[in-house]
Structure 1
């Protein structure tokens, strides 16, 4: 049976979510967050709704990395599923290019960029781990 993995593109005001189905990641949605606790609760709902067995949180280089790692650890304590981190360097730029190629209206494209970014991070994770995920 294929493991369902939830990808998270961390942000202070919104987070992009993606899901895996086998070896393919696809964008799910963008959640708006008012606090760390609110973000954890929203992700917990999605994990339950989608029966996700693992969560992969993108980690950037620089100032946000410590905050993203702390969030990942807090998330794992609450969720009861394995939470891993994965390098998300350049995923935002790649997501912008992907959203342009998707030929969505500009407003929708901007709304979905975080979900696209999450998808790219999760796909990179899946590609590196193959079917062992």
Structure 2
């Protein structure tokens, strides 16, 4: 069992996948938005044996729904129908900021940051979701 995390952007989709124990998130790739994006996701779902998807949900800092939330909702519906998997929406506030900060601290060049930022944001989204699951399981 693995969970896939997605950072759904206007031009790209960052992809991360959990380990089999659902403890850690690892960046997998950045998919360019195109007619083949679902095919690429299908291949990754099969390859990593994914049985749940988490998509970053772009709320505003005050908690209201951001302008991209409607597009994210539509994408989530498409994924549910296409892959017949549970799809969760996860508050992604500051995930890109955290990814950017991590890459800056690692002294990654601007050009390389641009190539991996969405994948890193997907890692932060998925890791937050996994940490919350672990926390809930400990409370039970």
Q: TM-score, normalised by structure 2?
A: 0.84
SS in 2 for 1:53: strand
Structure 1 residues 57-102: Cα deviation after superposition (integer angstroms, max 9, x where no partner):
1110210001001101111111122111111011111110011223
2:75 corresponds to which of 71, 74, 79: 71
Displacement, 1:105? Answer: 3.6
Which of 5, 14, 24 aligns to 2:3? It is 5
Q: Could you tell me how far apart the structure 1 residues matched to 2:110 and 2:97 are?
A: 16
For normalisation by structure 1, the TM-score amounts to: 0.88
Structure 2: any 5+ residue segments left out of the alignment? Answer: 60-65
Q: Which structure's CA Rg is the greater one?
A: 2
In structure 1, stretches of 5+ residues that fail to align are none
SS at match of 1:81: coil
Looking at structure 2, the residues matched to 42 and 33 of structure 1 have their Cα atoms a distance apart, in angstroms, of 10
**Cα distance, 1:129 vs structure 2:** 0.9
CA RMSD of aligned residues (A): 1.5
Residue in structure 1 matched with residue 28 of structure 2 by the alignment: 28
SS of alignment partner, residue 103 of structure 1: coil
Tell me the distance in 2 between the aligned counterparts of 1:101 and 1:120. Answer: 16
Q: Aligned pair 1:106/2:110, yes or no?
A: yes
